Each structure stands twice: as C-alpha cells, then as structure tokens.
C-alpha cells in the first residue's frame, strides 16, 4: 500500500553560506525525494522563534533562533513514501559527531548548531511546518 508523505526540510545558513544547496538537493533527489516546493528566504529572529516554539524552554533556544535567522536558508517540501522517517534517516543524528557515515549531517554538518539541515520529526509537525512556510 502506498504511503506517500510530505515533510519539511530546511537547508540551514551554514550550508547555504558554503554554497552546498545544490549538492544537498541532489542528495534528496538521488534518495527518492521529490522537491515539490522550494524557496530561498532570510527569516527574522521573531519568525525563527515562532518556527522553533516547541524548543522555547530549552537552554539553546535563543542561540538556535539567532542562528536560523543569521543568513539565507532554503526551505523545501519533500515528498516520497515514508518521507518523514526516511528524511530523518538521511539527515542522521542531530549532532554531526554522532551521525552515521553517509548521512547529510555527517557529510556537511559542522556542529550541533550548524548541522546543515532540519527535517520534521513527525507527520503532525510536518503539516504544521509546511504550513508555516508555504501557506498562501
């Protein structure tokens, strides 16, 4: 039975700054993801605070929001079967030091903050996150 899903992916400022967006987009494509929506934007700190609201009680929240709004990002809606879980597998662990070989964060991540990509962690959050950037 087909289980086509959508998930939100962000190529973070550290990767855009190093001009890695085409290489990372190609990784999604060769791993079976269709990029159905895409835009390059530079969000404000207030928008980043809204996007990462689930983390507002965490000690790293302020830095995280400052970082996501520090430069251009590429936001995408990705689609494939089991997109949410498969994207999380492709990204690897949050901390690039702990990410498996071959994963995006292992290949491109610099640190736990500058970990190059974000991906929705559940179908429920995928819908919320896709709406956040693409509702029009």
Residues that bind ligand CMP (CB under 6 A): 55, 60, 64, 94, 112-113, 115, 118
Q: How far is the CB of 61 from ligand CMP (least distance, A)?
A: 8
Distance CA 127, CA 67 (A): 23
Question: Which is catalytic among the residues 88, 105, 114, 118?
Answer: 118
Distance CA 25, CA 19 (A): 11
Nearer to ligand CMP, 48 or 80 (CB): 48
Nearer to ligand CMP, 80 or 109 (CB): 109
Nearer to ligand CMP, 1 or 83 (CB): 83
Q: How far is the CB of 1 from ligand CMP (least distance, A)?
A: 29
What stretches of 22-132 adopt beta strand conformation (E)?
34-41, 73-81, 117-119
Long-range contact pairs involving 102-108 (C-beta distance under 8 Å, separation at least 24): 104/24, 104/27, 108/15, 108/18, 108/20, 108/24
Q: What share of the chain is helix, strand, coil (3-state, %, to 5)?
A: 45, 20, 35
Q: How far is the CB of 32 from ligand CMP (least distance, A)?
A: 21
Position of minimal CB gap to ligand CMP: 118
Let me know if 42 is a catalytic residue.
no
- Residues marked active site are found at 118
């Amino acid at each position: 039975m087909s289980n086509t899903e959508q998930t939100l992916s962000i190529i973070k400022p550290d990767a855009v700054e190093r001009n890695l967006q085409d290489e990372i987009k190609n990784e999604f494509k060769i791993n079976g993801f269709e990029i159905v929506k895409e835009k390059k934007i530079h969000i404000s700190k207030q928008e980043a605070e809204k996007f990462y609201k689930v983390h507002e009680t965490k000690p790293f929240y302020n830095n995280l929001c400052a970082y996501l709004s520090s430069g251009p990002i590429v936001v995408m809606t990705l689609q494939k079967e089991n997109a949410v879980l498969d994207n999380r597998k492709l990204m690897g662990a949050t901390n690039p030091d702990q990410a498996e070989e071959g994963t995006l964060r292992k290949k491109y991540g610099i640190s736990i903050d500058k970990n190059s990509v974000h991906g929705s962690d559940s179908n429920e959050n995928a819908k919320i996150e896709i709406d956040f950037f693409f509702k029009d």
